[in-house]
Every structure is written in C-alpha cells, then in structure tokens.
Chain A
Amino acid sequence: MAMRDLVTGGAACAVPGSSSSSNPFGALANAILGSSSKTQELKGLPGSAVNVPEASSDYRPAAPLTTIPGSEYESQQDQRPDARTSEFLHGFHSTDHGGLAEAWDEIHRSPVFPPAQFRENEAHFEEFERVYNANPLQPTWDGPPQRVLSSVLHSFLGSDQAGVPFRPTALPVLGLSEGDKQCIRDRSCIMARHIFADKSEEYIQSQVNALLHSLDIDSNHQIRGSMHGPHSELEGYWNESQGAMIPRMPNPVDGWITEFSQQRENDNPAAWANSFEQMHGANGWASEFEQDLKMGHMRDANLANLAAMEQSRMLAQTLGQNRDPKFQKSKFLQFVSKMSRGELIIDENQIKPGTNSLAGDWANEYQAQYDVGPKSWADQFQQEELSRGTDNWVHEFSKEHQRPDEKWVDEFSKLNMNDWVEEFGQQVSEGAFGESSADVWADDYDKYLDDQLRASKQRSGASRGVYVFSDMNPYVGHPNPLKEGQELFRKGLLSEAVLALEAEVLKNPDNAEGWRLLGITHAENDDDQQAIAAMMRAQEADPSNLEVLLALGVSHTNELEQAEALKYLYRWLQNHPKYGSLAPVQQADSLYYADVARLFNEAAQMSPEDADVHVVLGVLYNLSREYDKAIAAFQEALKIKPRDYSLWNKLGATQANSVQSADAILAYQQALDLKPNYVRAWANMGISYANQGLYEDSIRYYVRALAMNPKAENAWQYLRISLSCASRNDLFAACDSRNLDVLQKEFPL
C-alpha cells in the first residue's frame, strides 16, 4: 500500500468503493490505481480441491454419467500414469479436506526436497507449492511482484498523463519468484510470436530477450523444459509422476539441449538455423529460443552488453516502423518499448527510470531518443570503423556490402535499412566519397537522426499527455502566431489554427492562452488526446485557469476517465472566486461523484445565472449517464448563452447518447449554423443519422466532416460502416483510397 500511495499520491486507500467491483467508480479507481485492493483481501482460493457447496446439487444434470459421449473409452484413453496420478489426487482432495491430505502432502514432499537441497531450492519450492496447490498460506498471486509490475505499468502511464516525473526510489524490491519469471518468459514468448508474426524468428527472440533483460530475467535462469514435440509428453509424464515437481532435477530435455548445443558449435549460424528448421519444423522455435538463451550466457559479458543494446535498438526501430497511430498509442507496446529502450531499468531489483527518463515532456523525449536510439548505433558503427581503420573504410564498406553473411550488414537490411545501404552503395559507385566522404557520411547520418527523431516523436506522442507537434510548420518564424492562430480559429480553419498555435507555444512555452486555445482547437477538430496534452501544458503554465480546468474535465469525460474528470471539475470549483468557499481543500483524488455533483448543484443554486455551472453539471451527468438531467442542465446553460456553439454540440451529443437522435440533429444544426466549420459537430451529425438507420444521410455528413479534416481517422471508419449498411459497397474503393472527390460527388450535402 505504501508504494501505491507514493505512486498515486495517497489516494488509493481513501476510496472505499474501490474494492467493490459492483461499483463503477471503484472499478475505475482500480483501473487507474493498478492492482485491485480486493485481491489483497482474498485469503486463498480452492485449488485442485473440489469445493462443491450444497447448492450445487441443483446443477447436477439429470442425465446419468454413462450418457457422456466417449465415456466408454475413458479407461482406454487415460491409461497414462500421469493422468491416473492426477485423477487420484483429485479424488483424494475432493473426498478429504482434513489432516489426511496434509499428511499425504508431507509424505509426498519430503523425498522430493531432501534437507540438503532445501536451501538452494527455496525459490523452486515456492513454485512447487504453487504447482502443487496444496498450501493455502502461500497464495503466490498475492505477492509483491504483481503489484509492483502492475503499478510500474500504471504509474508510468499515469506519470505521462499528469506530466509529473516518474518517481523511482519509492518502489520496493521486485521479488519475482522463479515461477513468476517462468510465467513471464513463457507467456511473453508465445504472445510475441503472435504479435510479431511478420518478423523473423531471430527478431522475435530478441524482442522477448529485450523484455526479459529489462525485467532482470537472465538467460542463465533455469528454463522450463521444452513442451514441444515428442519430448513434451515424456517430460510431462516424468514431471507429473514425480509429484508435479517440474524443473529442478536434471531431466531428459537438458541432456538433449546440451547435446544440441555441442552440435551447434561446429556449425555456422545460418546453416544451423536451416538445419534446425528442417529437423524440427515450426515447433522448433521455442526450443530454438531456449537454445539461444542457453548460448547467450556463454558469451562473455561484453558481447552480452552489445547484444542487449542492439536488441533495444531493434525494438525501437520496429515500433517506429509501424506508422499506424493506434499502434503508437498502444500502452502495451509502450510498456514493452520503454522497458526495452532502457527508460525503465531494474537495478538491484528496483525499478528505476533509465538515465534518459521521459517525464512526459517532449523535449526530454527528444533528448532520450537522441541518446538511446542512434547512439547505440553510432557506438556500434564507431566500433566497426575503428576496427578496420578510417582510411579504407569506404572500400571496406563496399566489400561488406557484397558479403551478406557479415552480421551487421545483415541486421541492417533486416531492419529495412536497405534504403540507407543502397544510398551508400550508390554513392560509393558514383565516387561521391572522394575527399569529402566524411562530410557526405555526416550528412547522411544527420538525415538518419532526423528520421529517428521524427519516428520517436510520433512514437512518444503516443504517451498520454505528451503533445505531438506537426512537422514542417510554416508559421514558425511568424511575427505574431498567437494572433494569427486566434484569427484562424475564429474563421473556423482549425487545422491551420493548430499550426499557428503550435508556432506560438514553441516560441512561448509558458503562454497558457496559447496552449489553451490549441487544446480547444484540437477538441473541436475531434482529437481529444492532443486536446488533453495541450490543456495539461496550459494548466502547468496557469494552474488556476478556469477554462482550462473545465476543458480538461470535458476531455477526460470523453475518454471515459471518471476519476480524472472529477479531479479537474473539482479544481474548477476550488479555483472559482465565487464558489471556492464551497469546496473544502482536500486531496483532489479521493473524490466521490456524488459529492462533486452535490457541490455543483449548490453552486447552481447560489447563482443560477452562471452558465458555466450548468455546463459543468451537464458534463457531470454525462459522466454518470443521467442523460435527462444532463440535457436539462445544458438547456439551462443555453438559455443564458444561446450563441455558444460548443454548448449546442454538447446538448446534441447528450441527446444522441440518450437515444433522442432526432432532437440531437436539431441541436447539431444549431451548432453548425453558429459555426459552419465545426468538424466534430458534422461528424456527430453523421453518427446520429447512422443511429437512426438513415445511412445515406450519415454518409453525407461524414464526407462533409472529412472534407474539412481528412485526418479524422474515426470518421473514415464510420463512413465505411455506413457505406456497408447502405449497400454502397461500390464506394469502398473510394473510401479506402481516401478519395474525397468521388465521395463528395456521390453524396453532396
């Protein structure tokens, strides 16, 4: 709990509801805080013991056992001793929960772990208990590793969101047991193979190695025997007959592995891989991977370090290669990639941010990438260079180029570095490397760094709360970009306004108004992630700006982040000159929805003429899905501010949420009359029509929204769905190729 406090600011324990999954607030709190406090209260679950409460007799089907299909084969099928053993154990535990079972466990345990081995097998013993599932006093799932892992994951994501540096020192020891490590290795290995299907076996291994390395799971760690091919059955049989004591004793597979490694040493790696593939087919991969781990720790330390750097670099490279913005936003991939880039490291069993930690600040991000990615490459390059002398390196290079078995060239081509290599090859053949070869090389290297930077910006922008700037901004250098941005925003040229405002905040990073307007522009352009990122910067610059706090509350509501939304709405109240007295100063994280709603209702009674209070109430009721109340609140606000287009949009969205799509369309129309270039309202209009089954109409509005902001990815997806529902499959091609001309001609508005 102490660790959770530090990570979350001490709020965790103040949320009584968080232990109850029947409370959505609690569920949300759990989601944000990471590990569930409920799990900590559980005392253990029945394992292999069959625990059938009396009520369960209701569930026994009337059909007699003999009607079960295949039961006539049962005796033939389960002749294996392992099955018999486990069946026996199951029967045993199900019929007797008392001392007899314990006694049996004792008897069974002692020959397996003679006292002399006990010490060195302590970790294994833990796992034994888990596997054996006989000791309820040691629920290993409740140990620290899960909480730490989970908290690390969630807290560094959270640190991105809050723009607060990740605090490392408070984290306790990461006591992963042998069993946990095995789990992580086995599962991440199998999953990596699904996720990185396109990549080579070697690549997948390095992915997993990178993760394992980051988690301090060594390659010399005892590996669970191969579960594949004919060995698996042998091994399973052997292990189970030994009372489920899995990996401790020398087992047949180890011998086989050793034999295989000996064989390997005489072979060159490529041939080895080939012959292995032939021998073992698809199933060999895992064994191959284990081989690699085994071989890994035989190398000397230097090589191992280089390899780790290389792996990290390869991972970063690949993540950068995927241009899909969704992939770059994936928290899972960020987790893996941060671990692997060394931005989270485990030192002396403590998780710390690497020296290049990202604090949710894009400048740091840039620096980090600059340090981590290319540098390791540069180091490597330098090594190569030194090893053969600078004078003839170009010559060497062209020679390397023709020797694909040389490791580093090979690796680079695998990493889609072909362009770069080819470019070099060309320059070599054109004689471009004359006296100025070093300059040319430097230029190319700069270009490479640029690419890396761009990729890293995209990737890192994925992190929540990190603002991603556009490339090639024509407004940089503009004498007064803020004024220009305000003007563009007023005209409704949202995408242009974004560029101008970015130029402003690049020039004056502390200009809260610049950040605020940038956030508003992104929200109206249908990009809540960027909107939140910009608003957080605005809030940093001016922590008590009411408009900023309100906007943050709305954006977090859109992203279904209730706790965050409540936090900002509460701060809005606290900072308001009129209502500040209503809100006692307290930890803003331990907020109940009901309390906040009550306070705002009081505020509304205090000054019913304040439109903002009604707006906040409307947002709050959206959060609790009380749409009727939300609609009433927005309508109240509109009586005071009838020309606020964003209010009309909010009203429409709320009506759409409560399935009053016809009303919603009227509200959107009001918003669009007031602000014709309001992309979000156009797209929302399309959604409302689609929800009423009026697909042709919905297409018209999506197309209109896209004509104004072709980058609205969501709208493209909705458009395709509506096309399909309207049986206009003939336009799929136009949709897929983003051909707005065709679509606009077909569906004019």
Chain B
Amino acid sequence: MAVFKTPFNGYAVRFSPFHERRVLVGTSQNFGILGNGRLHVLDLPPPGGSGGGLLLPVCAFDTADAIYDCAWSESHESLAVAAVADGSVKLFDASLPASSNPLRSLHEHSREVHSVDWNPLRRDSFLTASWDDSVKLWSLDRPASLRTFREHAYCVYSAAWSARHADVFASASGDRTVRVWDVRDPASSLVIPAHDHEVLSCDWNKYDECSLATASVDKSVRVWDVRAPRAPLAALAGHAYAVRRVRFSPHRESLLMSCSYDMTVRLWDYRADDALLAAYDHHSEFVLGIDMSALVDGLLASAGWDELVYVWPHGTDPRAVMP
C-alpha cells in the first residue's frame, strides 16, 4: 500500500532481486510518443511506523527518449538497464551520481527497444527486443551485442529468459507468433502461432520448465506447454482490451499476473475452474508495468499512464484509504 507519483507516464516496474523494499520504474513523457524518459529507483517506507504511504525516491536518471522497459541486474545490486525508444540500451548504476550515468549506452537496434530481460541464471547477460524485428543478446563486459536473432517478421515486443535453463528464452512479436530459442543455436527451435492478433508479452513459468504464458491484443492470456504447442493449456479471458504484460508468480506455480489497456491488473490461477482471482482497478489510465516480488510472497507492483506507481500486498487495496 505505497504509492508514488512520477512526472511522466509509467511504462515498466520491477522489484529488485537484492532488496525486498526496492523497485525500479521506467517512465516516458507524453505517453511515450515524443519526449524524454526517466528511470526511478524507489524504496518502500521502512517497516513498522507507517506501513502505508509514499514510496521514497532513491535516485532518478534521465534519458533522451522514452523508456519502454527496464530491468535490474541479477549480478550487481545497484545496476539497472533501460530499453530506450531511440534504439539504445542504457546501463545505470544507482550507487553513482547522475553525472557518472549512464555507465554505457549500447546503440545497435535501429528502432525502438521495447523490452529488456536480465538472465536470472547466467547473470552476466541480458536480452533486448526491438521494433526493428530483432532480439539481441548482450553481456556486461562487451561494448557490442553478442548475438542478433532475426526471424520475426514484425516488431518484437518482448523477450523473456527461461527460469530453468540458462540458454533458453522466448520472444513475442506482432507477427502473431512466439518463438523459443536456445542461444547456442543459430535459429529458433520452436514457433508457436500463439494468437490471432499481435502478441505483446510472454513469460516462463518459474516451476515448470515447459510452460510459458503469452499476452495478446486479442485481450487474452494463454498458457502453453512447449512440448504440445498446438493448443494452449489454458486461455484466460476477461480483460476488455489488449493485454500489455504477463508475469508468472515466483512463488506459486499456477499464479499469473497481467495488466491491460482496460486499466486493470488481474491475477489468475490458470489451473482453477474460475481462473480470475482478482481484478485491481486502481489505475485511471492504461496499465503498462507490473511485477511480483521474488523476495516477498504476494507483494505486487504496477505502473501506469496515470503517472502512479503502486506497491501493495495481494488481497489489500492498492490505494491508501481516503480521509
């Protein structure tokens, strides 16, 4: 139950894998259509005392174009990476002053970089997905990308590492497919025609190495078994507009979180008969960023175009009670 008002429109939020009370928020001016970006590092207020309240700003960094996504490093607690709309990928160190940041600016993508994901197992590398139809693999110690994966026929909106295999990732694209890759192979190992509309997001199950979820403009979330990709394991309907992001829970195998242009954040148990567990309606504009804390079971975060970031425990009201 903590909130923060950002100057720009929220695009992404991520819990730190090192500090249970810290989040990273990527924001963009003018709804990301034109203008600057700003990356915020925010802390939950200290436990005890007042538990509700304002997220406390730790530091913030500006970029020359919109920030569409961001991720914490899995190897260094203060290191974060931002996907910038000018095609660059920028590395920031939250422990250094703004004048020393960004640590690096990696400019290879020829169009907007839409997503970034740090490898949770092989912790020195990360992926970026771009509107230039490609996915790139980067390492901390290289000034240029290690690999470029070009198979998608349209914008790649998301690339996500498997939580169980250090070399495996999935990519979701506007060409309506999801592709599964092994970075040791030159071509994708599986193509799933996942939806009849653009696929905006994908994420791997943290417990089942074969299971992955996709979110689409067709308003649905689907869960797939990569061993039997012809039909989804589950199709979760309920969002009233395109589903922008989907995340599997780090704590419960069948728990999913999604956010949508219908301005809601939803939690699902894809194995249950009535899959929808909760619909949080606290944002007043499109919700683009969500995350579930890996360190605190049930702690959720969301960021939206209403310039608000919320962090709250599942089952409680994300908004503070109004006087």
**A: which residues have CB within 8 A of B?**
21-24, 27-28, 30-31, 35-36, 38-39, 42, 45-53, 55-56, 58-61, 63, 65, 68-74, 76-78, 83, 86-87, 90-91, 94, 130, 133, 139-141, 145-146, 149-150, 153, 180, 183-184, 186-188, 190-191, 193-195, 197, 227-229, 232-233, 236, 239-240, 282-283, 324, 326-327, 329-332, 335, 528, 554, 557-558, 560, 618-619, 622, 625, 627-628, 630, 649-650, 652-654, 656-659, 664, 680, 684, 687-688, 690-691, 693, 695, 713-714, 717-718, 720-722, 724-725, 729, 732
B197 touches A326 (CB 8 A): no
Q: Could you list some 18 contacts between A and B, CB below 8 A?
A: A21-B7, A21-B60, A39-B36, A48-B105, A51-B105, A61-B124, A90-B107, A149-B35, A194-B200, A227-B111, A232-B132, A282-B176, A327-B263, A560-B3, A560-B308, A653-B323, A690-B315, A691-B316
Provide the bound-state CA to CA distance between A335 and B175, in Å.
29
Q: Which of the 9-residue segments B203-211, B223-231, B249-257, B273-281 touches chain A?
A: B273-281
CB contact between B219 and one of A28, A60, A141, A197 (< 8 Å): that residue: A197
**B: which residues have CB within 8 A of A?**
1, 3-7, 29-36, 38, 40, 45, 49-54, 57-60, 62-65, 73, 75-76, 79, 85-86, 88, 93, 96, 100, 102-108, 110-112, 122-125, 131-133, 137, 139-144, 146-148, 150, 153-155, 166-167, 174-176, 183-184, 186, 197-198, 200, 217-219, 240-242, 244, 261-263, 272, 274, 276-281, 284-286, 305-308, 315-317, 320-323
CB contact between A59 and one of B93, B105, B217 (< 8 Å): that residue: B93
B198 / chain A contacts, CB cutoff of 8 Å: 193-194, 282
CB contact between A141 and one of B32, B36, B51, B272 (< 8 Å): that residue: B36
Q: Which residue of A lies closest to B76 (CB)?
A: A59
Q: Which residue of A lies closest to B64 (CB)?
A: A141
B42 to chain A, nearest CB (A): 10
CB contact between B146 and one of A71, A139, A558, A720 (< 8 Å): that residue: A71
Provide the bound-state CA to CA distance between A714 and B276, in Å.
18
Q: Which residue of B lies closest to A236 (CB)?
A: B110
CB contact between A330 and one of B73, B105, B284 (< 8 Å): that residue: B284
Given contacts A60-B141, A91-B144, A150-B30, contact A52 B104 (CB under 8 A): yes
Provide the bound-state CA to CA distance between A228 and B155, in Å.
8
A148 to chain B, nearest CB (A): 10
Provide the bound-state CA to CA distance between A298 and B219, in Å.
37
A41 to chain B, nearest CB (A): 10
Given contacts A36-B36, A560-B308, A649-B323, contact A55 B96 (CB under 8 A): yes
A87 / chain B contacts, CB cutoff of 8 Å: 144
- Smallest CB-CB A-B distances: 6 pairs: A21-B60, A30-B7, A141-B64, A70-B183, A659-B51, A61-B124
Given pairs A59-B73, A70-B137, A139-B64, 16 additional interface contacts (CB within 8 A): A22-B60, A24-B4, A36-B7, A47-B88, A48-B107, A50-B104, A51-B104, A61-B140, A74-B147, A77-B148, A91-B143, A184-B33, A193-B217, A721-B280, A724-B277, A729-B274
Q: Which residue of B lies closest to A230 (CB)?
A: B153
B52 touches A658 (CB 8 A): yes
B285 touches A36 (CB 8 A): no
Q: Which residue of B lies closest to A176 (CB)?
A: B34
A732 touches B274 (CB 8 A): yes
B274 to chain A, nearest CB (A): 5
Provide the bound-state CA to CA distance between A718 and B282, in Å.
10
Provide the bound-state CA to CA distance between A140 and B86, in Å.
11
Provide the bound-state CA to CA distance between A414 and B219, in Å.
21
CB contact between B186 and one of A22, A76, A720, A724 (< 8 Å): that residue: A76
B105 to chain A, nearest CB (A): 5
Provide the bound-state CA to CA distance between A146 and B32, in Å.
11
B146 to chain A, nearest CB (A): 5
B279 touches A717 (CB 8 A): yes
Provide the bound-state CA to CA distance between A194 and B104, in Å.
32
Given contacts A149-B30, A627-B50, contact A194 B261 (CB under 8 A): yes
A558 touches B322 (CB 8 A): yes
Provide the bound-state CA to CA distance between A87 and B144, in Å.
6
CB contact between A31 and one of B6, B139, B155 (< 8 Å): that residue: B6
Given contacts A91-B143, A193-B198, contact A717 B281 (CB under 8 A): yes
Given contacts A51-B105, A77-B148, A332-B286, contact A141 B321 (CB under 8 A): no
Q: Is the interface of B mostly helix, strand, loop or mixed?
A: loop
A45 touches B79 (CB 8 A): no
B317 to chain A, nearest CB (A): 5
B242 touches A197 (CB 8 A): yes
Provide the bound-state CA to CA distance between A91 and B107, in Å.
12
A228 touches B153 (CB 8 A): yes
A48 / chain B contacts, CB cutoff of 8 Å: 88, 105, 107
Provide the bound-state CA to CA distance between A674 and B316, in Å.
28
A27 touches B57 (CB 8 A): yes
A69 touches B36 (CB 8 A): no
B144 touches A141 (CB 8 A): no
Provide the bound-state CA to CA distance between A225 and B141, in Å.
34
A690 touches B316 (CB 8 A): yes
A191 to chain B, nearest CB (A): 7
A191 / chain B contacts, CB cutoff of 8 Å: 31-33
B51 touches A658 (CB 8 A): yes
A60 touches B125 (CB 8 A): no
A664 / chain B contacts, CB cutoff of 8 Å: 321
Q: Which residue of A lies closest to B96 (CB)?
A: A55
A49 / chain B contacts, CB cutoff of 8 Å: 105
Provide the bound-state CA to CA distance between A657 and B197, in Å.
42
Provide the bound-state CA to CA distance between A90 and B89, in Å.
13
Provide the bound-state CA to CA distance between A250 and B135, in Å.
28
B96 / chain A contacts, CB cutoff of 8 Å: 53, 55
Given contacts A28-B5, A650-B323, A690-B316, contact A331 B281 (CB under 8 A): no
B242 touches A183 (CB 8 A): no
B140 touches A70 (CB 8 A): no
A597 to chain B, nearest CB (A): 16
B125 touches A69 (CB 8 A): yes
Provide the bound-state CA to CA distance between A744 and B51, in Å.
32
Given contacts A46-B102, A691-B316, contact A197 B217 (CB under 8 A): yes
A68 touches B124 (CB 8 A): yes
CB contact between A197 and one of B58, B241, B274 (< 8 Å): that residue: B241
A725 / chain B contacts, CB cutoff of 8 Å: 278, 315
A649 / chain B contacts, CB cutoff of 8 Å: 323
A81 to chain B, nearest CB (A): 13
B108 touches A50 (CB 8 A): no
Provide the bound-state CA to CA distance between A713 and B281, in Å.
9
A83 / chain B contacts, CB cutoff of 8 Å: 108, 148
CB contact between B29 and one of A58, A150, A628 (< 8 Å): that residue: A150
Provide the bound-state CA to CA distance between A31 and B272, in Å.
42
Provide the bound-state CA to CA distance between A227 and B186, in Å.
23
Best-surrounded residue of B33, B52, B122 (most CB of chain A within 10 A): B33
